[in-house]
Amino acid sequence: MSAAGGAEPGQRAVPFYCPFCGDEDLRPHEEGHGTWLCSACRRAFSLKFLGLVFPEQSARRTTPEEAR
């Protein structure tokens, strides 16, 4: 990880806790890249970054004065 807390280029960030039970004892799972095993609840899960989402141009916010 970089000093700013982000992942280095080409690497994935590591989850800090299990999304199911909240425990922090996570280990890479055998199923492949990006899969994790929680030692507390024994759930295996994967994380996937879908991308950045930006509002459409037509969905511009209006002020109360513009709405009149």
Please indicate, yes or no, if residue 66 is contained in any of the structural domains. no
Please indicate, yes or no, if residue 28 is contained in any of the structural domains. yes
Q: What is the pLDDT of residue 64?
A: 62
Task: Identify which has the larger pLDDT, 15 or 9.
Answer: 15
Please indicate, yes or no, if residue 5 is contained in any of the structural domains. no
Q: Is the pLDDT of residue 5 over 70?
A: no
Find the DSSP H helices in 1-68. Answer: 64-67
DSSP element (H, E) containing 35: strand 35-38
Q: What is the pLDDT of residue 60?
A: 55
Please state the pTM of the whole predicted model. Answer: 0.57
Please indicate, yes or no, if residue 6 is contained in any of the structural domains. no
CA distance 3 to 62: 39
Domain that holds residue 29: 13-47
Q: Which two tokens stand for residue 13?
A: 């960030």
Task: Give the Cβ contact number of residue 24 at 10 Å.
Answer: 11
Determine contact, residues 31/44, Cβ cutoff 8 Å.
Answer: yes
Please indicate, yes or no, if residue 60 is contained in any of the structural domains. no
Q: What is the pLDDT of residue 37?
A: 96
